């Protein structure tokens, strides 16, 4: 919302620096996003030590170089038809000024003007905007010769002065503008661009902001007091009104002006509208917009004669109602809309006239031919207005305000002011009487707030009298009863609730008025809640740390993906397997992921071209819809992938071994060691994985997840080279958590020396190494403290289908030094069991 300072000053005396006003507004919840200078000096240029807390833009007018001047005569140019010479007085001396402004041509060659034209005059060296370039390009006025005439100064357009984009002609000032006065003193202004919060729509107008400033500064507020002259023929019989649903349309007023002549508004009105960001249209439409910008109540003007014509020459009947689904209306922007039942319409007997509270219809809008204006001021259900603007993608000033709720009480003064402005700017006479139907006035809450409430919420003691005083500044009517204040909500705001909500609303008003920074800081002293154990977070943290320590990079991917992308790993899934977006930004991100590994592989795919070694992991949720459940399950998963060179090559050492199955297994074993979980790797067949290099991971009878090399076909679908292989795993963190324990027994460190021994055996190729080790451990018993495989060997000498496994065995007793004889006994027992149970042969 753009609020011109000069307009604010209509309603409040403000003698504060611009930055102070911006600070007051911002600290009261009306964040000033920008201050645009219209001539006033730039505070940051005046004091370079100021923090640039607010964005300041616009043009400052040099007081001695840009002044109010009067044109006494407009003379033709001796050798250029499109130019004129102005005999101009700047209060000190007379100048002859060259210009091509078309709005001076009517005065050309008329000799000395009976009423001099007051203009903005820029002297040599003045800094202004270049009128001939798009946008705002700063230029300094220099002496030049144009068509043989010396030129060193100029009369300015609004664009050159930074008032608006207007450059059709020069700016004419009011007749009483004092010649010789610096223009900045006469016309200097600033516009505050304010961000209006959703609950502060009451401040989307100049009066609203002035009211806040009055409350914050203690200055009195001068509310506009419209006094229209109802002197014309009576409204009675000229129009009638029916509200079909007061919940949709709590209030509707109509007034009539006969005999208007449509034309431009007065220059000052146009200037104000432009400063506030609106385009002047004509004197009637501008009158409605002016009231909306000043008071916050949007008005709508109908061409009354069009309504009479539609009524077949009879008095029109205005009716407000919900639209019939499928009903059509063309709005004044030329768009045809097909409507739903939530849209409220203003209709006559011939059909819809306008989208209530949103935009007028094309047919009944005010045109240059309009002679009689029917003026509407109404109030609408904000939900219906919002649904309409959202569904029809209409953004209008009226829709913006009504869609957030405008108090119906505003409609009456707004109508009166609108009528007054129309007559003042367009002529005509106001019909006697207005129509005012008010079937559904809102209840303005009476809120009881006590000193205790303020203490309880703000931690601040304020006497009841002070609470009342603060609220009264915002026009609440207050009565103090002991430590309690009864505050009656003023009839311009709909944001105050009842009961405890009302108290919270008032607390906010009190806090805004005293300033948040005046509320003392405290350290929490309330009772501490009971502590909850959070084992799942501890587990995640451990897993992250262990993986990072093993050189793995953590990723966090987009959780939104597409079924096609995931199908590359997990295959086609049924429709109901996914949480699907109704409004995706792109088809590539239209479902919530089912597979975390798929996310990780996507990252791998993106990085594979850029590097020859990737080791990464992600911990995060996947989204699994469950039949009969509104929300999906969101289990936390762990996914890992290894790809490329096992170790980075260095300048003097070339590492060209690629990651393989056992690298990934080793990383996982590291995780399980850190979590103290015993895990079995069981050969498995899983979609997406290499059939011979895939394992399911089991802790007791629970499957924790899957790991292995990707199937070459999967790898190809991911736009990855065929070799080296991608090693990948996905595990359930919940399953890990179920099998980890925080309690365990720590082995004492042995004090006697161990006996170390190697044992090589030959077994069938098919026999899993795990079984061999299990038999060795069982047979070895308590004194066999460690078994480590150090070689796997195949050869012709061993025969096909055979392999040799070599183990380093550690015998260790906690009570004594083991003798060779004792060790040999255990060894014999191991060999015997291996031979008997696995058909193993000792390798000589």
Partner 1 sequence: MSEEAAIRAEMEQTQQQALTALQTVQNEAELLAWRNAHLGRTAPVMLFFSRLPQFPKELRPQIGQAANQVKLTLEAAYEARRQELQASSLQQRLSSERVDVTLPGRRLPLGHLHPSTQILAEICAIFGEMGFQVYRSPEVESDENNFELLNIPAHHPARDMWDTFHTTRPGVVLRTHTSPGQIRAMRQMAPNPLRVILPGMTYRYEQTNASHESQFNQVELLAIGQNITFGDLQGTLTDFARRMFGAEVHVRLRPSYFPFTEPSAEIDIECFLCGGKGCTVCKGGGWLEIGGCGMVHPVVLRNGGYDPARFTGFAAGLGPERIAMLKYRISDIRYFFGGDLRFLEQF
Q: Which of residues 521-550 bind partner 1 (CB under 8 A)?
A: 521-532, 534, 537, 541, 544, 547-550
Which one of 223, 456, 461, 680 is in contact with partner 1 (CB under 8 A)? Answer: 456
Cα–Cα distance measured from residue 661 to residue 666, given in angstroms and rounded to the nearest whole number: 9
Cα–Cα distance measured from residue 634 to residue 12, given in angstroms and rounded to the nearest whole number: 57
Cα–Cα distance measured from residue 540 to residue 728, given in angstroms and rounded to the nearest whole number: 19
Map residues 5-24 to x or -, x wherever contact with partner 1 holds by CB under 8 A. Answer: --------------------
Which one of 146, 391, 556, 792 is in contact with partner 1 (CB under 8 A)? Answer: 556
Cα–Cα distance measured from residue 476 to residue 503, given in angstroms and rounded to the nearest whole number: 13
Cα–Cα distance measured from residue 836 to residue 844, given in angstroms and rounded to the nearest whole number: 18
Cα–Cα distance measured from residue 706 to residue 300, given in angstroms and rounded to the nearest whole number: 68
Q: How far apart are the first and last CA of the chain?
A: 93
Cα–Cα distance measured from residue 115 to residue 10, given in angstroms and rounded to the nearest whole number: 28
The answer to whether the CB of 763 falls within 8 A of the CB of 814 is: no
Asked if 611 is part of the footprint of partner 1 (rule: CB under 8 A), the reply reads: yes
Q: Which is nearer to partner 1, 253 or 458 (CB)?
A: 458
Asked if 26 is part of the footprint of partner 1 (rule: CB under 8 A), the reply reads: yes
Report, in Å, the least distance between residue 289 CB and partner 1. Answer: 22
Q: Which is nearer to partner 1, 250 or 428 (CB)?
A: 250
Residue 740 token pair: 């980890």
Q: Which is nearer to partner 1, 274 or 613 (CB)?
A: 613
Is the sign of the CA dihedral 238, 345, 383, 403 positive or negative?
negative
Cβ-based burial of 96 (10 A; exposed 0-12, middle 13-18, buried ≥19):
middle
Asked if 607 is part of the footprint of partner 1 (rule: CB under 8 A), the reply reads: yes
Asked if 614 is part of the footprint of partner 1 (rule: CB under 8 A), the reply reads: yes
Asked if 382 is part of the footprint of partner 1 (rule: CB under 8 A), the reply reads: yes
Cα–Cα distance measured from residue 457 to residue 585, given in angstroms and rounded to the nearest whole number: 42
Report, in Å, the least distance between residue 94 CB and partner 1. Answer: 45
CA distances from 606 to 173, 344, 377, 557, 614 (A): 65, 52, 60, 12, 11
Map residues 502-521 to x or -, x wherever contact with partner 1 holds by CB under 8 A. Answer: -xxx-xx--xx---xx-xxx
Report, in Å, the least distance between residue 408 CB and partner 1. Answer: 17
Residue 748 token pair: 């004492």
CA–centroid distance for 783 within its chain: 68
CA distances from 128 to 59, 64, 101, 613 (A): 7, 13, 17, 61
Q: Which is nearer to partner 1, 369 or 575 (CB)?
A: 575
Contacts to partner 1 from residues 189-228, by CB under 8 A: 197-201
Q: What is the DSSP letter of 203?
A: G
Which one of 51, 393, 443, 747 is in contact with partner 1 (CB under 8 A)? Answer: 51
Which one of 137, 146, 315, 383 is in contact with partner 1 (CB under 8 A)? Answer: 383
Report, in Å, the least distance between residue 665 CB and partner 1. Answer: 18
Which one of 223, 479, 558, 626 is in contact with partner 1 (CB under 8 A)? Answer: 558
Asked if 720 is part of the footprint of partner 1 (rule: CB under 8 A), the reply reads: no
- Give the binding range for partner 1 (CB under 8 A) out of 166-174, 350-358, 457-465, 801-809: 457-465
* Cis before 84? omega within 30: no
Q: Is 350 helix (H, G, I), strand (E, B) or coil?
A: coil
The answer to whether the CB of 649 falls within 8 A of the CB of 534 is: no
Cα–Cα distance measured from residue 285 to residue 140, given in angstroms and rounded to the nearest whole number: 38
Cβ-based burial of 631 (10 A; exposed 0-12, middle 13-18, buried ≥19):
exposed
Q: Which is nearer to partner 1, 30 or 375 (CB)?
A: 30
Number of residues near partner 1 (by CB under 8 A): 102
Asked if 573 is part of the footprint of partner 1 (rule: CB under 8 A), the reply reads: no
Cα–Cα distance measured from residue 82 to residue 102, given in angstroms and rounded to the nearest whole number: 8
Which one of 159, 202, 613, 690 is in contact with partner 1 (CB under 8 A)? Answer: 613
- Give the binding range for partner 1 (CB under 8 A) out of 367-375, 381-389, 410-418, 829-837: 381-389
Q: 336: which strand partners? A: 330
Which one of 632, 635, 712, 754 is in contact with partner 1 (CB under 8 A)? Answer: 632
Contacts to partner 1 from residues 579-598, by CB under 8 A: 579-585, 589, 592
Map residues 386-415 to x or -, x wherever contact with partner 1 holds by CB under 8 A. Answer: xx---------------xxx----------
Contacts to partner 1 from residues 53-92, by CB under 8 A: 53-55
Which one of 634, 663, 757, 773 is in contact with partner 1 (CB under 8 A)? Answer: 634
Contacts to partner 1 from residues 152-191, by CB under 8 A: none
Report, in Å, the least distance between residue 212 CB and partner 1. Answer: 11
């Amino acid at each position: 919302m753009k609020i011109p300072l000069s307009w604010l000053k209509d309603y409040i005396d403000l003698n504060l620096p611009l930055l102070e006003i911006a600070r007051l507004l911002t600290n009261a919840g009306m964040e000033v996003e920008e201050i645009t200078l219209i001539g006033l000096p730039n505070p940051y240029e005046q004091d370079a030590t100021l923090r640039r807390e607010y964005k300041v833009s616009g043009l400052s007018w040099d007081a001695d170089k840009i002044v109010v001047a009067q044109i006494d005569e407009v003379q033709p140019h001796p050798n250029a038809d499109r130019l004129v010479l102005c005999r101009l007085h700047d209060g000190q001396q007379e100048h002859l000024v060259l210009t091509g402004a078309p709005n001076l041509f009517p005065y050309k060659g008329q000799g000395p003007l009976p009423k001099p034209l007051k203009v903005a005059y820029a002297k040599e060296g003045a800094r202004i905007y270049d009128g001939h370039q798009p946008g705002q390009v700063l230029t300094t006025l220099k002496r030049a010769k144009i068509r043989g005439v010396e030129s060193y100064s100029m009369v300015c357009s609004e664009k050159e002065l930074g008032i608006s984009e207007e450059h059709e002609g020069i700016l004419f000032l009011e007749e009483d503008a004092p010649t010789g006065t610096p223009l900045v003193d006469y016309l200097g202004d600033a516009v505050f661009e304010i961000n209006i919060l959703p609950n502060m729509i009451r401040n989307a107008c100049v009066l609203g902001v002035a009211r806040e400033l009055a409350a914050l500064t203690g200055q009195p507020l001068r509310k506009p007091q419209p006094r229209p002259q109802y002197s014309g023929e009576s409204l009675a019989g000229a129009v009638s009104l029916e509200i079909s649903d007061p919940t949709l349309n709590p209030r509707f007023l109509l007034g009539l002006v006969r005999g208007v002549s449509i034309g431009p508004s007065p220059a000052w009105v146009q200037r104000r509208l432009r400063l506030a960001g609106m385009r002047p249209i004509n004197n009637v439409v501008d009158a409605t917009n002016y009231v909306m910008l000043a008071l916050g109540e949007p008005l709508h003007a109908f061409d009354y004669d069009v309504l009479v014509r539609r009524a077949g020459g009879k008095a029109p009947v205005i009716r407000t109602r919900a639209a019939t689904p499928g009903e059509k209306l063309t709005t004044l922007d030329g768009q045809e809309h097909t409507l739903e039942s939530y849209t409220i319409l203003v209709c006559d007997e011939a059909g819809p006239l306008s989208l209530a509270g949103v935009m007028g219809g094309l047919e009944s809008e005010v045109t240059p031919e309009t002679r009689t204006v029917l003026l509407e001021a109404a109030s609408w259900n904000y939900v219906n207005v919002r649904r309409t603007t959202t569904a029809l993608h209409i953004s209008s000033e009226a829709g913006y305000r009504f869609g957030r709720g405008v108090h119906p009480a505003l409609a009456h003064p707004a109508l009166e002011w609108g009528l007054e402005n129309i007559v003042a700017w367009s002529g005509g006479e106001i019909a006697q009487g207005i129509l005012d139907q008010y079937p559904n006035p809102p209840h303005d809450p009476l809120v009881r707030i006590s000193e205790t409430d303020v203490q309880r919420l703000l931690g601040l003691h304020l006497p009841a009298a002070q609470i009342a005083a603060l609220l009264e500044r915002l026009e609440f009517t207050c009565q103090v009863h002991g430590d309690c204040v009864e505050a009656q909500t003023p009839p311009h705001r709909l944001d105050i609730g009842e009961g405890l909500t009302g108290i919270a609303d008032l607390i906010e008003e009190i806090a805004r008025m005293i300033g948040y920074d005046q509320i003392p800081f405290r350290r929490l002293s309330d009772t501490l809640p009971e502590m909850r154990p959070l084992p799942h977070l501890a587990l995640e943290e451990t897993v992250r740390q262990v993986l990072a320590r093993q050189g793995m990079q953590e990723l966090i991917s987009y959780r939104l993906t597409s079924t096609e992308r995931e199908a590359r790993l997990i295959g086609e899934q049924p429709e109901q397997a996914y949480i699907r977006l109704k409004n995706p930004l792109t088809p590539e991100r239209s479902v919530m992921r089912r597979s975390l590994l798929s996310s990780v592989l996507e990252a791998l795919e993106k990085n594979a071209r850029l590097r020859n070694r990737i080791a990464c992991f992600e911990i995060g949720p996947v989204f699994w819809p469950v039949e009969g459940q509104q929300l999906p399950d969101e289990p936390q998963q762990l996914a890992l992938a290894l790809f490329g060179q096992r170790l980075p090559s260095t300048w003097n050492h070339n590492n060209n071994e690629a990651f393989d199955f056992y690298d990934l297994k080793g990383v996982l074993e590291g995780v399980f060691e850190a979590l103290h979980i015993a895990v079995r790797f069981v050969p498995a067949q899983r979609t997406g994985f290499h059939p011979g290099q895939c394992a399911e991971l089991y802790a007791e009878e629970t499957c924790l997840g899957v790991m292995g090399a990707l199937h070459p076909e999967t790898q190809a679908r991911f736009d990855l080279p065929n070799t080296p292989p991608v090693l990948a795993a996905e595990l359930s963190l919940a399953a890990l958590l179920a099998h980890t324990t925080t309690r365990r027994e720590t082995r004492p460190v042995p004090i006697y020396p161990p006996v170390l021994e190697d044992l090589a055996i030959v077994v069938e190729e098919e026999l899993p190494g795990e079984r061999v080790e299990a038999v060795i451990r069982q047979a070895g018993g308590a004194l066999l403290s460690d078994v480590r495989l150090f070689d796997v060997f195949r050869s012709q000498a061993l025969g096909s289908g055979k392999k040799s496994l070599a183990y380093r065995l550690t015998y260790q007793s906690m009570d004594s030094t083991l003798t060779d004889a004792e060790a040999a006994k255990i060894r014999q027992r191991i060999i015997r069991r291996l031979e008997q149970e696995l058909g193993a042969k000792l390798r000589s």
